[in-house]
Chain A
Amino acid sequence: MIKIDHLSKSFGKIKAVDAISFEVAEGENLILLGTSGCGKTTTLKMINRLIDPTGGKVFINGENIMDQSPELLRRGIGYVLQNNGLFPHYTVAENIAIVPQLLNWDKKQIERRVSELLEKLHLDKKYLSVYPNELSGGQQQRVGLARALVADPPVLLMDEPFGALDNVTRSKIQAEFKALDELKRKTIVMVTHDVQEAFELGDRICLMDKGKIVQIGTPAELLFNPANAFVKDFLKEQRLQLEFKALRLNDIWKYLPSQTPKQGSINLHGDVSFWSAIESFKFTSTEHLHIKHHKKDEYRSAGFEELMAAFYQYKKQQPHE
């Protein structure tokens, strides 16, 4: 879907991005992770030509983005900013309708699409005619997301979309974000410096430092097969939680006991993270999970202790631990 080929950007003598290459598959959620100044935001902005590269190429659907007019290119790519960047002189409805207006949609179609999105993002209709400064930070960010999604672009770029929110609002919106069906089909490139967020939302993570890619892979790969000490060091904080988040139940499948399901146990999909599995105990009185493998028609059943035992067995098998 997106192919980055030896992309470089220099500001004067400083190489902000240094000949990096990677690909993002259709429907994938790739996180660009790194500290400030590592080049992740510059990389993101080169994808919709907010910044023009000094070297290398970017292809979207096999087309070189430099061959298209930047305006037309950008209208086909959703973009979410950290500070939402909503137009203060436009109402919520007008803000969301900016791209459809540029694409000359007819009025009815715009109205329909805007109210559809509001509903999906849990925003009340009464906010349609309200100005952004009358909304809370979380609501503003939802409107920003709606604005990026309104024309249903296949690609979505997000620049620290949750960075300006407080912790409580952030986890709430992250949860909504994961559940939003609109996003499931999209190819997303998201920039963040928050490791937890990267592990929570990313299919793959591209860890960057000083304009270069240090390692690119699934959260589990980064965690359990770090390419070097930098990666290991970067993920040191709250490592256990990261491991819980990175592991899918499928990963520890072979360590789970194959029992017949007990009555009243929760049904879970093998795709679910270990973290979510443990969390699901919190909300119910039951002590057993009934898990379905994500491909095969197989089932496993486990209580809390069996789950933890499987986790430790898995970890013992990892070469670097």
Chain B
Amino acid sequence: MNEQQQTLWQFMAQQSDKLLTQTLQHIGLTFISLIIAVLIGLPLGIFIARKRKLSGPVLGVAGVLQTIPSIALLGFMIPLLGIGAKPAIVALLLYALLPIIRNTYTGLTGVDASVKEAAVAMGMSKWQILFKVELPLAMPVILAGIRTATVINVGVATLASYIAAGGLGEFIFGGISLNNTNMILAGAIPAALLAILFDFLLSRLQDLNLKKLKTAAAILPVLLLILACFYFIPSAYGGKLTAGFTPEFMGRQDGNLGLRSKYGLKIHTVVISDAVMYKACFEKELDVISGYSTDGRLKAYGLVVLDDDKKIFPPYYAAPIVRDDALQKFPELEKTLNLLSGKINDSVMTDLNYRTDYLHQTPERVAKDFLVAHNLYQPERGGSNGTVRIGSKIFGEQYILASMYTILIKGYTDYDVATKTGLGGTKICFDAMTNNQIDLYPEYTGTGLLAILQASQKDIDAVTGDKEKTYNYVKNEFERRYHIKWLQPLGFNNAYALMMRKKQADQLGVKTISNLKQYLERK
């Protein structure tokens, strides 16, 4: 525990400039949206307190907005407002609206009727009554609403990093993707502290007696405005092109860190979730993104992969891996699985992914169509000579590959097949294999090298530049350590890649990452 805390402090000290930037962005996002929410919510609350008939519909709509899941709301914003601060602020302000409108309404309608009557009877005008009597008396309730909205906003603002609006979510979601606890805590702890701090400060404001509230009400807008300006401090830099990287890519040596150290690439970068990244690139919100080289969206959005001419992304060639004892038990298995060897290159795999992801064809159908087209398809023999257990990870490409193997085994051998698809991640899949619960699944050389073998930096540097070396390294090590055999690669390389819109890349003459760097350095 102590050691962990030590390293957390070390991490935070090491990343202090990023931490500061993210914290300022976080505060800024929270308060920009809060100010706008107050500017909209307060008059709206006053309005429905005057016209009570409208209170039902207005509060109802604000309540519905509140129930939309935050990620979905951010998703809705992208087609309308793109990515970055704008949609994040709008989404946050929609969440903040309900407590502000509702508390303004409750506060105003809760003002003692005899006090209001006295104010009217003494000859105060409508506006004098509002500003001198109703608002001051409703202020504690209104402040409570603003307080609730602030805490909600601090929380929801962590999600802003999904759509490249920055904030402490960058650390939190980067840490989750990289399984880096320190990184998660470096984002989560400041976010929690911010929530506690603002809640405390606003509670103090609320507890002030009615007299001092007059001064407090005057200070509050100024304070909010200052806090809101924090957002603009870090983003005072820009560039020709904007890159959007996933939180995971940001923190990896074979990701953004490598781009900086090996290529010296300096590009204006925002952090974004991979769910919206491709679309944002398509819609010209981003120019360069990190992605997987066989992703179906590459085809769907007309993107092109930049050549990794300095080989910082380790090769992720896919190949089936099989338990040695299964190969002995099913002598025909290796031969059958190798039927696919070298048959699927990057563009073929991208196309297959595109069919499942975008044309919504089933993996079974895509697999069968492919085998038929390549004259590999044979009808089932109705095998009875034992059962081969095939596993797959939980994404489209693996489903397709598992289906292909199933069809091939059933067509070419007398074995039956049981599939265990959709195993959560590398660790789950691999553990299932070592525990003799599955016989084979498709794996990637890079994953084998980095995630399973966790090879030393020296070994990694020695082999990653060359796909053969990487393949041979993992093949030998798997055999030695786990008695698992890597069969021949399928042919495609599902590695990390930088990609751009094809049209823009052609215009700028950018084919490789080095080209990109040269372009960025040109004045």
* Chain A contacts to B: CB under 8 angstroms: 48, 50, 70-77, 79, 81-89, 91, 98-99, 102, 131, 147, 157
Known A-B contacts A89-B137, A89-B210, A89-B213; A147 and B117 likewise in contact (beta carbons under 8 Å): no
Indicate if the CB atoms of B124 and A87 lie closer than 8 Å: no
Would B123 and A88 count as touching, CB distance under 8 A? no
Return B335 CB to nearest CB of chain A, in Å: 89
| CB-defined contacts of A85 to chain B, threshold 8 Å | 112, 114-115, 117-119, 121
Q: A88 contacts which of B115, B117, B122, B124 (Cβ < 8 Å)? A: B115
| Prevailing SS type, chain B contact patch | helix
In contact, A102 and B122 (Cβ under 8 angstroms):
yes
Known contacts A88-B210, A89-B136, A89-B211, A99 near B114 by CB under 8 Å? no
* Chain A contacts for B121, CB-based, 8 A: 48, 50, 74, 77, 79, 81, 85, 157
B120 interface residue (CB < 8 Å to A): yes
Interface centre among B123, B124, B137, B210 (most CB of A within 10 A): B123
In the bound complex, how far is the Cα of B124 from the Cα of A50, in angstroms?
Answer: 12
* Alpha-carbon distance A85/B137, docked complex (angstroms): 13
**A50 touches which one: B120, B128, B136, B211 (CB < 8 A)?**
B120
Query: Contact: B118 with A86, CB < 8 Å?
Result: yes
CB-based closest 3 A-B pairs: A85-B118, A75-B123, A74-B123
Q: When chains A and B are docked, how far (Å) is the Cα of A229 from the Cα of B392?
A: 99
The answer to the question of B125 belonging to the interface, with a C-beta cut-off of 8 Å to chain A, is yes
- Chain B residues proximal to chain A, CB less than 8 Å: 112, 114-115, 117-125, 128, 133, 136-137, 210-211, 213
CB-based contact B123/A147 at 8 Å: no
In the complex, the chain A residue whose C-beta lies closest to that of B117 is A85
Distance of A161 Cα from B128 Cα, bound (Å): 25
Given the complex of chains A and B, what is the CA–CA distance between A91 and B120 in angstroms?
19
Whether B133 lies near A87 (C-beta < 8 A) is: yes
The residue on B at minimum CB distance from A132 is B115
| B117 & A87 in contact (Cβ 8 Å cutoff) | no
Can you name the residue of chain B whose Cβ is closest to the Cβ of A98? B122
Given A87-B133, A89-B137, A89-B210, CB of A71 within 8 Å of CB of B124: yes
Nearest Cβ on chain A to B123's Cβ, whole angstroms? 4
Query: How far apart are B188's CB and chain A's nearest CB, in angstroms?
Result: 41
- What are 29 A-B interface contacts by the 8 Å CB criterion? A50-B121, A70-B123, A72-B123, A74-B122, A74-B123, A75-B122, A79-B122, A81-B117, A81-B118, A81-B121, A84-B114, A84-B118, A85-B114, A85-B115, A85-B117, A85-B118, A87-B118, A87-B119, A87-B133, A88-B137, A88-B210, A89-B136, A89-B210, A91-B211, A98-B124, A99-B122, A99-B123, A102-B124, A102-B128
User: How far is B84's CA from A129's CA once the two chains are assembled, in angstroms?
Assistant: 53
Shortest B108–chain A CB gap in Å is 14
B216 shortest CB reach to chain A, Å: 12
> Is A74 a contact partner of B115 (Cβ separation < 8 A)?
no
Which of A76, A77, A87, A88 has its CB near the most chain B CB atoms (within 10 A)? A87
* List of B residues within 8 angstroms of A102 by Cβ: 122-124, 128
Residues of B within 8 A of A82 (CB): 114
> A79-B118, A81-B114, A85-B114 known; A71 and B210 CB under 8 Å?
no
Min CB gap B111→A, angstroms: 10
**Complexed CA–CA distance, A279 and B107 (Å):** 51
Distance between A178 CB and nearest chain B CB, rounded to angstroms: 24
Contact A71 B125 (CB under 8 A): yes
Residues in chain B near residue A79, CB distance under 8 A? 118, 121-122
Task: Give Cα A88 to B114, complex, Å.
Answer: 11
Q: Min CB distance, B519 to chain A, in Å? A: 64
List, in ascending order, chain A residues with CB within 8 A of B124's CB: 71, 98, 102
